[in-house]
Amino acid sequence: MKIPGLELTNGYSTLPPVLFSRVSPTAVRAPSMLVFNFDLARQLGMEVSAISSAQLAQVFAGNVSLEGADPLAQAYAGHQYGHFTMLGDGRAIVLGELRAATGLHYEIQLKGAGQTEYSRQGDGRAALAPMLREYLVSEAMHALGIPSTRSLAVVASGESVMRERELPGAVLTRIARSHIRIGTFEFAALQQDREVLRRLVEFSVERLYPELNNSSDLGLDFLKAVIARHVRLVVEWIRVGFVHGVMNTDNMAISGETIDYGPCAFIDRFDPAKVFSSIDRHGRYAFMRQPAIMLWNLERLAQCILPILRPAANDSKAVARAALQEFPALFENAWLEMMRGKLGLCTTGPEDEALALDLLEWMRSSGADYTNTFYQLHPNKPCSEELSQDPVFKSWYARWQKRLGQEKNLEQSSALMARANPGIIPRNHKLEEALNSAQDAADLGQFQRMLKAVSQPYDNESRLGQASEYTLPPRPEQEVQETFCGT
Catalytic center residues: 250
Nearer CB in complex with ligand AMP: 120/452: 120
CB of 391 to ligand AMP, least distance (A): 46
Q: How many residues bind ligand AMP (CB under 6 A)?
A: 16
CB of 87 to ligand AMP, least distance (A): 4
If one asks whether residue 97 binds ligand AMP (CB under 6 A), the answer comes out as no
If one asks whether residue 119 binds ligand AMP (CB under 6 A), the answer comes out as yes
Q: Do 119 and 91 touch, CB atoms closer than 8 A?
A: yes
If one asks whether residue 174 binds ligand AMP (CB under 6 A), the answer comes out as no
If one asks whether residue 82 binds ligand AMP (CB under 6 A), the answer comes out as no
Q: Do 293 and 243 touch, CB atoms closer than 8 A?
A: no
If one asks whether residue 280 binds ligand AMP (CB under 6 A), the answer comes out as no
CB of 260 to Mg ion, least distance (A): 4
If one asks whether residue 87 binds ligand AMP (CB under 6 A), the answer comes out as yes
**Per-residue mark of binding to Mg ion, 214-253 (x: CB under 5 A):** -------------------------------------x--
If one asks whether residue 122 binds ligand AMP (CB under 6 A), the answer comes out as yes
CB of 273 to Mg ion, least distance (A): 24
87 binds, among Mg ion, ligand AMP, none (CB under 5 to 8 A by kind): ligand AMP
291 binds, among Mg ion, ligand AMP, none (CB under 5 to 8 A by kind): none
Q: Which one of residues 186, 236, 260, 280 is an interface residue with ligand AMP (CB under 6 A)?
A: 260
Using alpha carbons, list the distances in angstroms from residue 207 to 12, 176, 178, 212, 214: 10, 11, 8, 10, 14
Nearer CB in complex with ligand AMP: 90/307: 90
If one asks whether residue 420 binds ligand AMP (CB under 6 A), the answer comes out as no
If one asks whether residue 297 binds Mg ion (CB under 5 A), the answer comes out as no
130 binds, among ligand AMP, Mg ion, none (CB under 5 to 8 A by kind): none
If one asks whether residue 260 binds Mg ion (CB under 5 A), the answer comes out as yes
Round to whole Å and give the CA distance between 17 and 12: 9
CB of 75 to ligand AMP, least distance (A): 10
CB of 258 to ligand AMP, least distance (A): 13
Q: How many residues bind Mg ion (CB under 5 A)?
A: 2
If one asks whether residue 123 binds ligand AMP (CB under 6 A), the answer comes out as yes
CB of 167 to ligand AMP, least distance (A): 11
If one asks whether residue 55 binds ligand AMP (CB under 6 A), the answer comes out as no
Residues that bind ligand AMP (CB under 6 A): 87-91, 118-119, 122-125, 251, 260, 262, 485, 487
Residues that bind Mg ion (CB under 5 A): 251, 260
